[in-house]
Amino acid sequence: MTTRAASWLPLSSGERSVAIEVLVHGPLSRTELARRLNLSAGSLTRLTKPLIESGLLVEVPEGGTLAEARQGRPSQPLDVVAESRSFIGFKITDDMVYGVVTTLRSDIVARHDRPLTTHDPAQVADLLGEMTAELAAEHPRLAGIGIGVGGLVQDRAVVGESPFLRWRDVPLAELVEERTGLRVVVENDVAALVEAETWFGAGRGLDRFVVLTIGAGIGYGLVLGGKRVPCAEEDRGFGRHWILRPDGPLTPDGERGSAVSLLTIPNIRYQVQAATGHDRTYEEILALAAAGEPMPLRVVDEAAHALGTLVAQIANFAMPQKILLAGEGVGLMEVAGRTVEETLRAHRHPLAAPVDLETKVSDFHDWARGAAVLAIQVLVLGSAQA
């Protein structure tokens, strides 16, 4: 069953610039918008007219209502009509597909998750098609789908390699487009999260920004000049070779003392099980460490020192204005945040400015939202490359 896409006419480069500026930073007055984009009043009027006529932008009275906005005057600020289109974001894990529907401003308005019982690409695409049909019944103005996958993604369409799914060269965008009739963009899940935080989250308006994720793996994203820096090695396991303690633990996944060996949830669980003989969940390990249980406390303390060292190295070399720490492993900060901060300071110059480290407790729906932002970018930009 296919779904008819709700879209706009392709935007010119100038129209895209206006739309993005208002989408990310609006509502904005025409004077402020012209200043930000270095446009004359006449040029701005020419560019905004088709955006208003298409329903993408609206003139909003300050303190007024959307109904009043539709009778707007030229002096009124411009804003996007956030509810005018909906977007689907999917995050695919080893055993689940997490789905969300967002507005044009990436606010989540619905969640829908399904177990993933097979990694066969066609059957996974069938499942995504079914989930899309179910979401479309409640949200008919769907404009596109974004999919986040752990692994190497090529041309925002083909999963070149995904260790979790054991995929190679899977044309996922094409498979899902065939089943839904909607435009589909696929991206590495960390890259999708970075894009979402850059446009609508912790990195909005920043020139230099870093996202560091800890969970099943280690994710890293760098933003320079307000734009994410793409990397051919994205999610190819660089954390396995990022050595933080040469004499650190040796685990099944990662070099001895690497960021992966010290910080990822599977390896923290492995260390505790190897030492105690008990298989504990990550949450149980954190609780035992907080209670002073010796072996979990030792493993968590090593992880905290490793995280502080890693954040300091990032700050020393990338010099970001902010570092966002996210992922399902950030509970470490609740138990051992002081150790992280002390280690961070110890690895920085005494006169260095404090690192703006923001912690975001996130779940897989945040990753799905990141994928939805990719769909928003592609629609507004009118291009497969944001």
Give yes or no for residue 335 having a pLDDT over 60: yes
Residue 165 sits in the same domain as residue 257: no
Give yes or no for residue 8 having a pLDDT over 80: no
Residue 348 sits in the same domain as residue 209: yes
pLDDT cut 90: percent of the chain above it: 66
Task: Identify the pLDDT of residue 254.
Answer: 79
Quote the domain boundaries for residue 102: 85-195+365-381
Q: Compute the average pLDDT of residues 39-57.
A: 88
Residue 334 sits in the same domain as residue 263: yes
pTM of the predicted structure, to 2 decimals: 0.86
Give yes or no for residue 213 having a pLDDT over 90: yes
Please give the radius of gyration of the chain, using alpha carbons only, rounded to the nearest integer: 22
Residue 160 sits in the same domain as residue 237: no
Give yes or no for residue 343 having a pLDDT over 80: yes
Nearest-angstrom CA–CA distance, 303 and 208: 26
Q: Compute the average pLDDT of residues 22-30.
A: 89
Task: Identify the pLDDT of residue 73.
Answer: 47
Residue 103 sits in the same domain as residue 215: no
Nearest-angstrom CA–CA distance, 379 and 185: 10
Q: Compute the average pLDDT of residues 254-258.
A: 87
In this structure, is residue 3 part of a structural domain? no
Give yes or no for residue 1 having a pLDDT over 80: no
Give yes or no for residue 68 having a pLDDT over 50: no
Task: Choose among 238, 244, 245, 243: nearest CA to 221.
Answer: 238
Residue 15 or residue 71, greater confidence: 15
pLDDT cut 70: percent of the chain above it: 90
Burial class of residue 28, CB neighbours in 10 A (0-12, 13-18, 19+): buried
Residue 280 sits in the same domain as residue 137: no
Residue 244 sits in the same domain as residue 325: yes
Beta bridge partners, 108, equal: 102
Average pLDDT, rounded, for the chain: 89
Q: Compute the average pLDDT of residues 287-291.
A: 97
Residue 281 sits in the same domain as residue 333: yes
Q: For Cα atoms 115, 91, 80, give the angle at the middle one, nearest 5 degrees.
A: 130
C-beta separation of 218 from 206 below 8 A: no
Task: Identify the pLDDT of residue 196.
Answer: 93
Residue 178 sits in the same domain as residue 90: yes
Q: Compute the average pLDDT of residues 145-169.
A: 92
